[in-house]
Amino acid sequence: MEKDSCQNLYRQAKKIIPGGTQLLSKRPEMFLPGGWPAYYKKAKGCRIWDLDDNEYLDCSLMGIGSCILGYADSDINKTVKAVIDHGNMSTLNASEEVELSELLLELHPWAQMVRFARTGGEAMAIAVRTARASTGRDIVLFCGYHGWHDWYISANLGNDKSLDGHLLPGLDPAGVPRALEGTSHPFKYNDSEKLLELVDRYKGKIAAVVLETVRNVFPDKDFYKIIRKTTKDIGAVFILDEITSGWRLNCGGAHLLFGWQPDIAVFAKAISNGFPMATIIGKEKIMNSLQSTFVSSTYWTERIGPAAALATIRKIKEKNVPAHLEKIGKRVQKGWRNLAKKNNLKIRVFGIYPLGHFSFEYEDSLILKTLFIQEMLRQQVLATTAFYVSYAHKNKDINLYLAACDQAFGTIAEAIKSGDPEKYLKYPVCHSGFKRLA
């Protein structure tokens, strides 16, 4: 690797951009502080070129879950380029909004109405506002990660560890009005007992129960049944966040595969393969309460988002992308297990096949994770302890990836044996969640 343009630019960025990046999960400190190439010049398929033209195979998070088809997909780009030529914005509306609404409702027959936004967090805020408007109540029970908005981060006002264990630990509620304390309460996935305890405590005041359909584990047999029955009984809105789970296991929300019927479902990220788009779909009576509350924004009307989503959904269906993600994801998870065994490493593998994860089962696991990232990067592979598979990852890429993993696992085994794995690190240990940058 040559030159240091990325490191130099990131050092400059930290002086003028608080926190360095716009998304916590893109902070180089989350991977390899001082070593991760923060910026890209070009991205295509599952390859990325940094500012110094170093080429990497991306087997990490693929645009943090947004590029399910791969980077700069030619079909989606063609659609978007045509939109640009015809005008992305005007005083009138984009007809693609109606076309996309019809397609989403065709895929999700339980829903009758659709609204759009452009990012996952804001779409979730709209879903929660809708539930509060339609019930006239305030309290939200939730599980999982749902973005940066006040309704969600307020859960950390009373106990700043409430959100730990919901994907990102350490989320600080500074700046969230104290008055929101007690309006959002977390429960863990599959923990129906805790959910029922919260329902009992706040009955009559609950606007919504919110959860990610699936992430690291599959739902227990009764989890859905209990949530659906309870929300019906207490008149609360059942909201499914499909921002990360959607489009990967099937064409549509993962809830279709499980036979679940929510009141609202929210999509973003992979729905438009790297172009900003988010959708909120739901039952007519509940969605209609959006007419009684003000939810409106200029750039929610631009045209690239719905056009990119239409093209992406059609390609996911036509190419049966979920089957590809499953096949490659299975190979990756099996590869991790085999290579860990070969190199005498204790790891735990988890997650649905398209969103595979592993953890080092050792006390100093963060040091080992950092060492893994360092060793993979040395072999020109962007990697972490998760692999979000895309349609662009083919078997030949996985051959390269697993060969690099074998090498990295070998070094990690040697480092553990030495009794001081940290001395194998050329960089500081990576961050595990949200914290202030020095």
Q: Which run of H or E residues covers position 232? A: helix 223-234
Interacting residues with ligand PLP between 198 and 217 (CB under 6 A)? 212
Neighbour order of strands in the sheet with 55-58: 40-44, 47-50, 55-58, 381-382
Using CB under 6 A as the binding rule, whether residue 19 contacts ligand PLP is answered as no
**CA distance linking residue 305 with residue 386, whole number of Å:** 27
Out of 268, 286, 313, 416, which residue is the one contacting ligand PLP (CB under 6 A)?
268
Q: Which stretch binds ligand PLP (CB under 6 A): 44-52, 139-147, 178-186, 222-230?
A: 139-147
Q: Which is nearer to ligand PLP, 272 or 374 (CB)?
A: 272
**CA gyration radius for the chain?**
22
Instruction: Collect all residues with Cβ–Cβ distance below 8 Å to 352 and sequence separation of at least 6.
Output: 214, 215, 216, 218, 245, 248, 249, 329
Using CB under 6 A as the binding rule, whether residue 407 contacts ligand PLP is answered as no
**What letter does residue 362 receive in the DSSP assignment?**
S
Q: Which stretch binds ligand PLP (CB under 6 A): 184-192, 241-249, 310-318, 349-357?
A: 241-249
Three-state DSSP class for residue 77 = helix
Q: Which stretch binds ligand PLP (CB under 6 A): 145-153, 158-166, 187-195, 406-414?
A: 145-153
**Residue nearest ligand PLP, Cβ-based:** 120
The percent helix, strand, coil of the chain (3-state, each to 5) is 45, 15, 40
How is residue 30 written in tokens?
């989350």
Out of 20, 45, 147, 306, which residue is the one contacting ligand PLP (CB under 6 A)?
147
Out of 21, 244, 279, 289, which residue is the one contacting ligand PLP (CB under 6 A)?
244
Q: Which is nearer to ligand PLP, 114 or 153 (CB)?
A: 153
**CA distance linking residue 185 with residue 139, whole number of Å:** 8
Out of 124, 133, 310, 332, which residue is the one contacting ligand PLP (CB under 6 A)?
124
Instruction: Collect all residues with Cβ–Cβ distance below 8 Å to 145 and sequence separation of at least 6.
Output: 166, 167, 168, 212
Q: Which is nearer to ligand PLP, 143 or 345 (CB)?
A: 143
Minimum CB–partner distance for residue 274 and ligand PLP (Å): 12
Q: Which is nearer to ligand PLP, 29 or 212 (CB)?
A: 212
Out of 40, 54, 72, 121, which residue is the one contacting ligand PLP (CB under 6 A)?
121
How is residue 200 written in tokens?
């009992």
Instruction: Collect all residues with Cβ–Cβ distance below 8 Å to 280 and sequence separation of at least 6.
Output: 114, 115, 116, 117, 123, 126, 127, 130, 264, 265, 266, 287
Using CB under 6 A as the binding rule, whether residue 120 contacts ligand PLP is answered as yes
Minimum CB–partner distance for residue 94 and ligand PLP (Å): 20
How is residue 266 written in tokens?
């929210």
Minimum CB–partner distance for residue 342 and ligand PLP (Å): 33
Out of 241, 263, 375, 397, which residue is the one contacting ligand PLP (CB under 6 A)?
241
Residues forming contacts to ligand PLP in the complex (CB under 6 A) are 119-121, 124, 144-147, 212, 241, 243-244, 268
